C-alpha cells in the first residue's frame, strides 16, 4: 500500500514538531507528538528505555541545563506502511549552550491515532565514529 502524500507531509511535520515543543519548553503538548504509552529508547545514552509520556517528560525536566538549546531534524525518510505502522528514519542535531553539537539518528514507529499520527516508539542512536569503508 502506498502512503498518500498528505500522510507523508503530516508525518514529516510530526517529526519536526518534537524539536519545536522541546526547545520552547512546551512539554505539556507531548501528546501531540507521542502516544501515551510511547517507548523512548535511550540505551545509547546509558538511560535504557523510557515508557510512557510521564517518564519521558520527567527525564527531560531532570536534564535541566544539560538539555540542548536547539533540536534540528533532517534527512527524514518514510518507509511504506506495514501492519498499521510506518517506520521513519531521520537525523537529529542538538546544539548546546556552549555551541557544541551532537548528532543522532532517530528510528521511529509512527501509528495513526484518530485522524492524526503519533510516535509510538523512538530509538535514539548516537554515531560516534566516522564512516569507515567496509563498516
DSSP H/E element including 91: strand 85-95
Of 38, 33, 31, nearest in space to 52 by CA: 38
Report whether pLDDT(135) > 80: no
Report whether pLDDT(24) > 70: yes
Q: Decide: helix, strand or coil at residue 109.
A: strand
Q: Decide: helix, strand or coil at residue 111.
A: strand
Mean pLDDT of 88-102: 95
Annotate 14-46 with b (16+ C-beta within 10 A) or e (fewer): bbbebbebbbeeeeeebeebbbeebbbbbeeee
Give this prediction's pTM.
0.92
Amino acid at each position: 500500500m502506498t502512503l498518500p502524500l498528505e500522510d507523508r507531509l503530516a508525518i514529516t511535520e510530526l517529526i519536526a514538531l518534537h524539536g519545536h515543543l522541546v526547545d520552547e519548553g512546551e512539554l505539556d503538548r507531548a501528546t501531540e507528538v507521542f502516544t501515551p504509552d510511547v517507548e523512548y529508547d535511550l540505551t545509547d545514552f546509558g538511560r535504557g528505555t523510557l515508557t510512557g509520556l510521564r517518564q519521558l517528560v520527567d527525564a527531560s525536566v531532570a536534564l535541566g541545563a544539560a538539555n540542548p538549546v536547539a533540536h534540528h531534524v533532517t534527512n527524514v525518510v518514510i518507509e511504506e506502511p506495514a501492519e498499521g505502522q510506518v517506520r521513519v528514519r531521520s537525523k537529529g542535531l542538538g546544539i548546546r549552550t556552549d555551541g557544541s553539537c551532537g548528532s543522532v539518528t532517530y528510528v521511529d514507529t509512527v501509528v495513526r491515532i484518530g485522524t492524526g499520527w503519533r510516535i509510538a516508539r523512538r530509538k535514539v542512536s548516537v554515531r560516534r565514529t566516522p564512516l569507515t569503508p567496509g563498516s
